[in-house]
Structure formats: C-alpha cells, structure tokens
Amino acid sequence: MSNDQKKIRVMHVIAGNQMGGTERMLCYLVPNYEKEKFETCLVTCASPSKYTEEWQRAGIEQLYFLHTRKPVSLAAFIRIFKHIKQWKPDVIFAFGLRVNISARIAAWLCRVPVFITGQRGIEDWKGKGAVLLEKITSIFVDVYIGNSKACCDMLARREKISASKLQVIYNGIQLNIPKDYKQRAADIRARHYPDNAVVIGSIGRLNRVKGHEYLIKAVPKILKQIPEAFFVIVGHDQYKQYIHKLVKKMGLDHKVILPGYSADVASWLESFDVFALPSISEGMPVSVLEAFLMKCPVVATQTGGTPELVKNHETGLLVPARDSAALATAIVELVLKQELGYEMSERAFVLASKSYSLEQMMCRYCKTIEALYLKTKR
C-alpha cells in the first residue's frame, strides 16, 4: 500500500463479552494488525463487564458497546447500523451466527465494501432454522475464514457455502507469561491442593459444548487408580451452576475446584500436571495452544479441528467426545507414564512455536483483508 492511500478500517463485531476462546483470540488479533495499513476497532452487542479490562490490557484502543441483550433483534440491528454509519468501516469482520445475521444486513445497507465471517466452531447445535438463515444471508459474505479445516468443511457440507468463499487461517498466539509465573503457580498449588496432589485441570468457558460434565463423570474412575488426584476447571459462564450441582451430587466437592475466571492462564497451566479438554464441539481450541506453549501434557476430545492440532500419541492424547471412561483412561495413562507426557509436550511446544505463532496468523489475516479490500477498488 502506497503512502498516499488511507488506512483500511476494520471493524470486528461480536455478540457478547464473556471471555471464551473467540474473545481471547480477539485480544491477539485486533491490536496487532500492521499499524501503517490498518485501523481497527471492536464492537460488542453487550454492555461492559469485568472482562472489559482484559481487552483494554491487550491493547484494543477502540472498543464500543451497543448495550443490547439479543444480537438478533431490531434494537441490535439499529445500533449496529448506526455504528457502521458512524465509524465507516471498509471491512467488517463478524464472529458468531447471531450477530452475523444483523451485521450482514446492516453492512449491505451501508454499502460496506468487504464483509468477512469468522468461523470458529463446527456448531453442532445449529438447527434447520439457523442453517437456513446462514444460507440466506451468505450472499452478503465475501469470505468465511475458518480457524480449522473442520470449520470450512462443515460450512461446505451443511450450509453449502461455495469453496471459493472458504479460507483456513489457523489460530496463532503469543501467550502472556508473567516473569514470576512459577511462583504464582506454586502459590496456586499451595492455596488449592495438598502437597502431594496430582492436578488435572481445564480452562475454558463453562458452556455445554465444552463438555466439562464428562470430565466430572470421569473423576471417580481416575481416583480409583490415582487417589491423590485433584481437579480444577478455570472459567465462568451460564453453565457454572449445573457443574456445581453435578459436583455436589456426585460428592466430589473435596476433589473438584471451580475457582471461576482468571486472566492468568499461564500460571494456572503451570500448576497443572495434565490439561484436559473434554469438548463435544470445537473449532481450533486456543486453550490447547496455550497448554502447548506451557509444556503441559494434553488430553483432548476428537471433535472439530482439535485433531488438526493434537496428533494422538505425538502432541497429546485424543479420545472420543462424550466418553468419560476413555477420558479417564487417557488421563491415568499420562499421569502414570510421565515420560510419555514429557515427550509429547516437548513436541507440542515446538509445533505451537513454529506453526501457530501470532506473527504467522497476523501476516495471513493482513494479506487476506488487504487483498479483498483492494479488489473492490479495481
């Protein structure tokens, strides 16, 4: 781009402000575009919350809240429309089906040159109505960027999106590791677990698709072979009450810890002996990449794009989704065969460092968005 050309204005739009994988990825994405070429902002349909500070700490300077509860509503549509008119983006990059519906129509009415949908999951929850809405409004989308091949395959198979509109850009991260993370991890262990505890942990939103109930149901099977095991699920969302009730119902209050949300992902991972991701649906899990970078052995479910990242017995162990028995067996294997966990975590660290860096991801996004925008100027 020559010096006399204006910066490309990229507006990122999401529905809420819970700090899940998509929101954490936006902490990496939004502030790190090439400054000389792009101006960026983040728009959320929700209101400010305790997670707002994390976006600000990440360096997102232009952050806007539309204060609507339902992203698919007349109020949401009007506020998105007005904000587009005011900010005048060249590109809109929307995440999540519900907010996409409103944003696509508003962007078309405002004659925004480029519209991109970020596809970050295989969305098994979609019913016929949701699929139909996706198909109908897909005419407003220039490209779908999936964070895994599985995401794009799903769009082609179920929504019948043309292959010419599909592109894979894998997640890339640069984990914020505090200088005193080892001391922080030691403090976490001293605060939450006995000295001899073997800690199996998970980090992520307490949402149904994350499958935490299957990890809870695996606990008794694991304790039979590893009685010193302790379990922690770091996260918060609408599913938290259900998980709390399940833990209490199974009489596992003394073995399962639910500390809520924490931005200090690195220190928690350092406190784990094994990281478990029991999801029943995934795109490309950020939490697994974070575990890789902290050299924490990983057990994950074989769903969505996770197998593109976790190669069984190479960079982690894979088990079927919704299978507590298989999950328990894999966790026990990693605990009892520490050398296996060490070897896989070393390979996983190399993989994450070389192939899933923030720089690689940003280079691909910048090139893709610039090419799409410049194509509209020909």
Residue 316 tokens read as: 């982690």
Tell me the whole-structure pTM to 2 decimals: 0.91
pLDDT at 5: 66
Contact by Cβ (8 Å): 322, 334: no
Give the Cβ contact number of residue 352 at 10 Å. Answer: 24
d(CA 167, CA 156): 11
Per-domain boundaries in the chain: 8-174+357-375, 181-355
The amino acid sitting at 285 is: P
d(CA 103, CA 340): 47
pLDDT at 24: 87
Identify the CATH assignment for 181-355 out of 2.130.10.10, 3.40.50.300, 3.40.50.2000, 3.20.20.70: 3.40.50.2000
CA distances from 284 to 58, 75, 308, 327 (A): 21, 32, 8, 19
Quick one: DSSP state of residue 312? B
pLDDT at 333: 97
d(CA 178, CA 264): 8
Q: What CATH number does the domain located at 8-174+357-375 have?
A: 3.40.50.2000
- Structure-token match 């919350």, residue found: 49
What DSSP string runs through 321-356?
Answer: TT-HHHHHHHHHHHHH-HHHHHHHHHHHHHHHHHHS
Return the sign of the alpha-carbon dihedral for residues 118, 93, 375, 107: positive
Q: For each successive 10 residues of the chain (378 residues), what is the average pLDDT?
A: 74 88 91 96 91 88 91 90 97 94 96 97 79 91 96 93 96 91 96 94 92 97 97 88 94 95 94 97 94 98 96 98 98 96 97 95 97 92
pLDDT at 125: 67
3-state secondary structure of 92: strand
Question: Which letter, b or e, does each residue of 9-28 get, where b requires 16 or more Cβ atoms within 10 Å of its Cβ?
Answer: bbbbbbbbbbbbbbbbbbbb
Non-local (6+) Cβ contacts of 279 within 8 A are 204, 209, 210, 211, 285, 300, 301, 303, 304, 306, 321
